[in-house]
A and B are shown apart, each in its own frame.
Chain A
Amino acid sequence: MSAVNQSGWRPEMSAAEASAPTTTTGNRALMLEEALIFEIGDTDTTGVDFADAPKVIARLSGLERARKIGIPGLSEPEAVRHYTRLSRQNYGIDLGFFPLGSCTMKHNPRLNEKMARLPGFADVHPMQPVETVQGALAVINELAVWLIKLTGMHGVAMTPKAGAHGELCGILAIKAALEARGDPRTVILVPESAHGTNPATAAFAGFTVENIPATSEGRVDLAALTARLGPDVAGVMITNPNTCGLFERDMRAISDAVHAVGGYVYCDGANFNAIVGRVRPGDLGIDAMHINLHKTFSTPHGGGGPGSGPVVLSEALSPFGPLPFTERHADGGYTLIEEETAGERHPHSFGRMTAFHGQMGMFTRALTYILSHGADGLRQVAEDAVLNANYILRSLENSLEAPFAASGPCMHEALFSDNGMAEGFSTLDIAKGLIDEGFHPMTVYFPLVVHGAILVEPTETESKAALDQFITALRSVADRARAGDASLKSAPHFAPRRRLDETLAARKPVLVWKEPDLAVAAE
């Protein structure tokens, strides 16, 4: 095993930290405090120069602004410094290991960024005549073809803006298909290990959500599911591989049982990275599945989006997919099927889910990623992702309880619990301890089926050395939690902030900045 640290540092050197002096500014060398723009900016300062506006008689309906808005500005050097300082208070994949389970935080290739910024993609208006955007439509179409072939499905809806929006798309397609055959059904079955967006989506579309229990080995209970199936069940929403990191072995049987009672199968594709190039959801009887381009296909997560959630559809659901979409002609040209042409070409569409044509900037990045890997590379992606996760599972199963370790190999993520920690110590303390060790914590307390869940998804873009370092660190933090090391309760010690008071934030919400005297007056 490679050394945890190669710089010459030894653990006893930490003792020196405790006696470090305080500073006047609150800064600590490279760790710099930064005020809010409202505290350092000024409404008369600007970092952009414009030509003088021509003198005209305003045609603003008499609504010309006289009052101040209250938005401060900074000169360019001040602005660059402000945001650069803020950026350094963030952890990102570029900085280190980011094993957030079910989030697939893999390396974001910079070629993707470069391609998305080509003026022919970045500087094109969505309402330009289609003759002037043939290359953009070609990107959408080419990506669509890849997604269809990789999943073995019939069609794909490209416009959903993120995973949850994709779920909504799939569920609306199911609802539209049921309505089209005059068979309104009311119930969607969701396993208890599902991501919270699944029940939220089904409820948003007007369905009643019923939970399906898991077996002791962490999979959907097929018997419980089939027992609940009936003419009121519109469908099931299943995540496969599931959020326990396991492949649903009975997926085909589940699909067949649901189809037999006239329902549809929605698959949450958040974990597609585990099987891309090795398994096609279409071969498992799936009717609809969203693909998070910001997970499997490496488009950056950006601190909370933008995502992109195209939905692949079975032959049964394809006619109901949303507008718009692209169509390729025999002559190599592309058309955009919008409201105007939908009547003849796509009469059963359930409608439009968003303005314009979807997350083009994400399509460009995802296609670049896919072409870089090719069919062979994508298969290797799944294999390395699964290999890395199993390596973590087997390396740590003696340090942390792995409730489903006996259920077989895991897929792309390894699940542990916090059972066995000292009284008062839990997953949260382990997560905060890992921050001090220089790692982004894993997903915590999800899925809900495991006590104090610790869900580690390494992805394929981590080296063995990076995994070894993480394993060593997590093992040592778990040991401290088991031993009841009090210093772990107050971790992190070395992050830009110590533990934050989330209760205070929720009890007295302060969501916008107010001038100090106004803030006091409002109390």
Chain B
Amino acid sequence: MRYLPLTQTDRSAMLSVIGADTIDDLFVDVPGEAQLDGPIAGLPYHASEMAVERHMSALAAKNMAAGAGPFFLGCGAYKHHVPASVDHIIQRGEFLTAYTPYQPEIAQGTLQMLFEFQTQVARLFGCDVANASMYDGSTACWEAIVMARRITKRAKAVLSSGLHPHYVSVAQTMAKFTGDVLDTALPTLTPETDADRLLASIDGETSCVVVQYPDILGRIADLSAIAAKAHEHGALLIAVVTEPVALGAIYSPGEMGADIVVGEGQSLGVGLQFGGPYVGLFACKEKFVRQMPGRLCGETVDAEGRRGFVLTLSTREQHIRREKATSNICTNSGLCALAFSIHMTLLGERGLRDLAALNHGLAVQAAERLAGVSGVTLVNDNFFNEFTLKLSKPARPIVRELSHHGILGGVSLVRLYPEAEHLENGLVVAVTETTTAEDVEALAAKLEELLA
């Protein structure tokens, strides 16, 4: 077995040092009836690298890769070009095969990177501080709701109808067990967000308002009024960003008054990967830092006075506080945070703005082209790189039919909202720097045909 260095000679020599006759002597504490006397039946034996590669490649070949044809899916996961150097660097063994940096003297690489990542995320979101990452956007979102409850000592959260339905589901799952009260609603195919509903719902019982920016239909709304109303009533504004590239083009939620900004960092560096692993981003105002979940990296000095970095404020965390911790999160998404940070460093502010402008420009052109197809109406007045189309027919069979022609045409809203008949004809289309004019033309032509 190529991964096991011990030889039979080694094993015998070691058993004799231990004073055991056979390996079975080391398992004496396992009751006999629970011991298996040989390899588990019905499972294959070990295989060569070549054989495993053949098997896995055959499975991979059964999937339609996003890069194989015109591709327009978004809704919380976006296809962006990742520079080649990102994947090269994250595969360096010193990053890939390191553990959580509990021994800071020999983990400065990871720690300095996390400090840089925290600063990048805080600045991107317009917040004072950010943590060292969460599992993904959806779990970051419910941790933010829980954090708001801790801060305000109130249990009612008002969720925008424009919040990703999976994020809503995750919050609902947790609320069932924790007693949080969630005020939720379904989106409608209108150019306006539900800002009015949110403003009307905020009262003295509200712990937080949760708004996605841009929202699940791609719409963008100024958050200032909601922030002001929330603050007036002692509630917090939580903003959720599932497409961080957008913030290269528009103001960040923090700049509009959000108290906690969370997000999905997948767009930068991470890739689609069928939904995971991704990287949760979590930032907030400085005054709330001790209520934050997750790991934090902080600057300090070593015994010779040189700058160095350590994990800090661990008195919030489970390994110290046990049942009194702010969260149970332990392992987070360090390597994806590294990928995000490298991609962001390669872009820099200038590259991020160029990338955002390119995404928006191509999306505007695509929206105009697709809106010209008979049977298609553009729902959005405004959007970044993702918009919603209302088709003259149910979207789900159309998406399936498009895929038969090699086009991955978008996300049909019924996939996300199976019960909502009023969303049946809704199709969310994302356009990024990877989308070509030919891709848009292919989608437009096929839609024309299928909707005729």
Contacts and interface: CB of A to CB of B under 8 A. Distances in A.
A50 B354 contact: yes
Contacts of B109: 86-90, 303
A87 B362 CA distance: 37
Interface in A270-327: 275, 277-280, 283-284, 292, 294, 300-308, 322-323
B319 A196 contact: yes
B26 A387 contact: yes
Interface in A487-508: 490, 492, 495-502, 504-506
A302 B119 contact: no
B331 interface: yes
Contact of A41 (B29, B83, B176, B348): B348
Contacts of B416: 127
Contacts of A70: 123, 349
A306 B336 contact: yes
B276 to A, nearest CB: 4
B247 interface: yes
B249 interface: yes
B328 interface: yes
B138 interface: yes
Interface string A190-205: 0000011101111111
Nearest to B346: A47
Contacts of B342: 79, 83
A199 B334 contact: no
B47 A203 contact: no
Given A120-B61, A135-B61, A387-B14, A304 B34 contact: no
Contact of A409 (B20, B31, B170, B350): B20
Given A61-B382, A506-B298, A105 B99 contact: yes
A87 B315 contact: no
Contact of A90 (B110, B179, B310): B110
Contacts of B232: none
A56 interface: yes
B228 interface: no
> Which 9 A-B pairs rank lowest in CB-CB distance, beginning with the nearest?
A73-B348, A356-B275, A94-B93, A302-B335, A120-B60, A304-B334, A135-B62, A126-B275, A351-B173
Interface stretch (A108-116, A223-231, A419-427): A108-116
A460 B108 contact: no
B46 A374 contact: yes
Interface string A173-213: 00100000000000000000001110111111110010000
Nearest to A358: B276
B190 interface: no
A249 interface: yes
Given A205-B177, A409-B29, A306 B331 contact: yes
A409 B380 contact: no
Contacts of A127: 73, 75, 77, 411, 415-416
Interface in B234-289: 247-252, 255, 264, 271-277, 279, 289
A496 B52 contact: no
Given A279-B36, A380-B1, A247 B91 contact: no
A350 B60 contact: no
Contacts of B196: none
A87 B73 CA distance: 35
A52 B58 CA distance: 39
A100 B44 CA distance: 31
Contact of A89 (B5, B14, B112, B358): B112
Interface size class of B (residues with CB under 8 A): 35 or more
B349 A128 contact: no
Contacts of A387: 6, 11, 14-15, 18, 23, 26
Interface residues of A, number: 209
A335 B97 CA distance: 34
A46 to B, nearest CB: 4
Interface in A377-414: 377-381, 383-384, 386-388, 390-391, 393-395, 408-409, 411
A251 B31 CA distance: 9
A36 B18 contact: no
Interface in A53-85: 53-65, 67-74, 76, 79-80, 82-84
A306 B277 contact: yes
A212 to B, nearest CB: 14
A261 interface: no
Contacts of A53: 354, 357-358, 360-362
A157 interface: no
B103 A431 contact: yes
Most buried by A among B17, B303, B365: B303
Nearest to B408: A128
29 contacts: A37-B345, A44-B350, A45-B348, A46-B347, A62-B222, A63-B251, A68-B349, A70-B123, A88-B94, A119-B68, A122-B272, A127-B415, A135-B59, A135-B63, A200-B325, A279-B30, A280-B34, A283-B33, A302-B336, A358-B276, A373-B46, A375-B40, A375-B45, A376-B39, A377-B4, A387-B6, A464-B13, A506-B315, A513-B115
A150 B57 CA distance: 24
B332 A305 contact: yes
A440 to B, nearest CB: 7
A520 to B, nearest CB: 14
B400 interface: yes
B34 A252 contact: yes
Interface stretch (B124-132, B151-159, B199-207): B124-132
Nearest to A26: B306
A423 to B, nearest CB: 21
Contacts of B297: 511
B99 A301 contact: yes
B439 to A, nearest CB: 14
A154 interface: no
Interface in B112-148: 112-116, 118-120, 122-124, 128-130, 132-133, 135-139
B365 A56 contact: yes
Contact of A132 (B27, B31, B40, B63): B63
A246 B364 CA distance: 63
Given A59-B360, A161-B135, A206-B179, 9 more contacts: A37-B345, A50-B355, A60-B250, A87-B94, A138-B62, A203-B324, A338-B418, A373-B46, A383-B26
Contacts of A393: 18
B354 A46 contact: yes
B4 to A, nearest CB: 6
Given A47-B83, A372-B46, A94 B299 contact: no
Interface stretch (A4-12, A13-21, A359-367, A475-483): A359-367
Contacts of B10: 463-464
Contacts of A58: 249, 360, 364
A497 B104 contact: yes
B180 to A, nearest CB: 11
A267 interface: no
A220 interface: no
Nearest to A47: B346
A164 interface: yes
A84 to B, nearest CB: 7
Contact of B346 (A48, A351, A354): A48
Nearest to A72: B348
Interface in B353-377: 353-355, 357-358, 360-362, 364-365, 367
Most buried by B among A167, A200, A304, A364: A304
A383 B122 CA distance: 47
A497 B300 CA distance: 11
Contact of B177 (A36, A47, A172, A509): A172
B249 A60 contact: yes
A71 B352 contact: yes
B188 interface: no
B172 interface: yes
Contacts of B392: none
Given A114-B53, A123-B271, A509 B312 contact: yes
Contacts of A119: 60, 65, 67-68
A340 B165 CA distance: 12
Given A71-B344, A303-B335, A372 B49 contact: yes
